[in-house]
Chain A
Amino acid sequence: MTDTLIIIQATSNELSKSDLAAAGFGREAAAASGGSFDILLLGPSAAALSAEVAGLGGGTVFTMSSAELEVYTAEAFAAAAAAFLSGHPYRLTAAATSSATKEYFPRLAALLDVPMASDVLKVESVDPQKAVLTRAVFVGNLLATVELEAPQALVTCRSSEFAPPASGGESSAVEPVDAPTALASPGKVFVGLEAASSDRPDLKEADIIVSVGRGTRGPDEGIPLCERLADVLGAALGATRAVVDAGWLANEFQIGQTGKIVAPEVYVAIGLSGSIQHLAGMRNSKTIVAINKDPEAPIFEVADLGLVADLFDAVPELTAALESRGG
């Protein structure tokens, strides 16, 4: 039992980047354990996606769908995966971290009575009795080495850390499997889904935030330039208290002691000096980029990357450079 199973949720007709990354994890885990990896497509689009998934370098692609898997629920997906795994014991069973796997993988672990590691960044080693993995703890400030001491274990993996396997290899065999019956919990009913608006991401959730200060000189001058940059980066827009006070942006954009407290991967501070009230709201950001024409601005003291420049030149230039990268 040296093989890895990757579970992909097949509730839409498209593979996502993270599904590809999960396959990348499968390849790494397989390499570490000296085995191969298979893929289980779970959900109504399993058959439709199987051809594409068969090109990801896995051994076998299993497809499972049924009326009860039509709509995702943690209860049904965990039960289906448990049923499959009880017939096919794998060394590691993994999926990309998502809102779904965050809730059904631990449930699955409980059903199978196996240990689990969440949101893994790196595979260190996989032996028959022990898998060693690296994951982030304490808001990503520390890395922890986790040992799963069991012949079977579950893993969710962070998709940004695993490269999709190169396509074009041999096509895997596709094997439909029957879904067990009475999967869905009678106690859970899916009512509806309100799709996220296509606007910029929520400040609290965003990986990247472009934050604007008084130096932008308002909604008729610098702020549109920064908004364009935010759009190119897929970033949320934030602001200092001064900008909100001036009425340039609404209250909900305010970051700082009396506004929102954020900790994105990248915080791009444009035309803001970095008062303590503002720092209190963003100092835990992973990487802080500052663009300000005043080299003495305190924001440079906390910035990882600082650019002393007039934002009216630098921001459009940066936007153009990122656009040309095809970002």
Chain B
Amino acid sequence: MKLLVTLKRTPQRDARIRISEEGDALDLDNVQFEVNPFDELAVEEALRIKEARGEAEVVVVSVGAEECEQQLVSAMAMGADRAVRVHHDGELDSLQVAKALAAVVEREEPDLVLSGKLAVDDECGQVPAMLAGLLGWPQASQASDIELSEDASGATVVCEVDAGLETVSLALPAVIMADLRLNEPRYASLPGIMKAKKKPIATLGIEELGDLGPARSRVTGFRALEDKPPGIKVGSVEELVQALEEKKLI
């Protein structure tokens, strides 16, 4: 079977993100990047499915400029077999990305698409569900457990919903979005990193993928939350309650 995992290059979790002086962009010059942690869960899950079934191809795909190949290599260092990069240098909105990915899916014809439930940078969490919508495939979000049927025609997925744990069954092909408790990703190992360097990355021009439409959702400015004021000491429980109320925390 073929598993397609979408992934995004996002700033490293502990990085301190600064805003450019003009306030309209982020200053990411000294920031290190990594595979979006939720997408990494999706990669891990794909690898586990591959290992459990003995035979499957794991393809990772990302939309972005050349530097996002580092993240594709990271995923291949974990064990993904090959990568596809849709080349685009610049901003795209979620729907454009979803359309580009849908075009890749139509070319690759995977049995299952796995994604993270959201990207930790913009925290939109839109692309995978849009992709499912564009493809007309069933979807399962915030998955904490995925079990494939023996003949790989369907999957039973446990989703973490507000009310508790929801179990759904999906006919494949489908799109499943990984949540935190789905698994614990493996560490990209040294031989894995070495092997990944030799695995193929196919590059597709975004213009090859049909009309993605205009970008209609744009971030035009950033603001820091009011700089966290220095901590204060309160003198009594009463003052503490008052301060919490002022901050709308209770």
Query: Could you tell me which A residues sit within 8 Å of B by CB distance?
Result: 73-75, 78, 98-100, 102-111, 113-119, 132, 135-150, 153, 185-196, 204, 208, 233, 265-266, 287-289, 295, 300-309, 314, 317-318, 321-322, 325, 327
B93 in contact (CB, < 8 A): yes
Q: How far is the CA of A173 from the CA of B132 in the complex (A)?
A: 35
With A118-B125, A150-B216, A191-B169 as known contacts, state yes or no: A102 contacts B141, CB within 8 Å: yes
Count of chain A to chain B residue pairs whose CB atoms are closer than 8 Å in the complex: 236
**Are A109 and B126 closer than 8 Å at their CB atoms?**
yes
Which residues of the other chain, B, contact A103 by a CB distance below 8 angstroms?
129, 139, 141-142, 177
B174/A74 in contact, CB under 8 A? no
Q: Does the CB pair B216–A187 fall under 8 Å? A: no
**Using a CB-CB cutoff of 8 Å, which residues 207-250 of chain B contact chain A?**
213-214, 216-225, 228-229, 231-238, 240-241, 243-244, 247, 249-250
A-binding segment of B53-61, B63-71, B158-166: B158-166
Known: A115-B95, A138-B121. A307 touches B237 (CB 8 A): yes
Q: Which residues of A contact B217 (CB under 8 A)?
A: 115-117, 146-149, 153
- List of A residues within 8 angstroms of B166 by Cβ: 190, 192-194
Instruction: With A106-B94, A107-B129, A195-B163 as known contacts, state yes or no: A187 contacts B170, CB within 8 Å.
Output: yes
Which chain B residue lies CB-closest to A143?
A: B223
Instruction: Give the distance to chain A from B91, nearest Cβ to Cβ, in Å.
Output: 12
Tell me the B residues contacting A by CB distance below 8 Å: 11, 17, 19, 26, 93-95, 98, 117, 120-134, 136-142, 156, 159-172, 174, 177, 180, 213-214, 216-225, 228-229, 231-238, 240-241, 243-244, 247, 249-250
B221 touches A289 (CB 8 A): no
Across-interface contacts of A196 in B (CB, < 8 A): 163-165
- Chain B residues lying within 8 Å of A140, measured Cβ to Cβ, are 225
CB distance from B233 to the nearest CB of A (A): 4
Decide if B232 touches A306 in the complex (CB within 8 Å).
yes
Task: For B162, give the chain A residue with the smallest CB separation.
Answer: A99
CB neighbours (8 Å) of A144 from chain B are: 122, 219, 221-223
User: Known contacts A103-B129, A138-B121, A309-B237; is A147 also within 8 Å of B218 by CB?
Assistant: yes
Beyond A110-B98, A306-B234, whether A118 also contacts B126 by CB under 8 A is: yes
Q: How far is the CA of A305 from the CA of B236 in the complex (A)?
A: 11
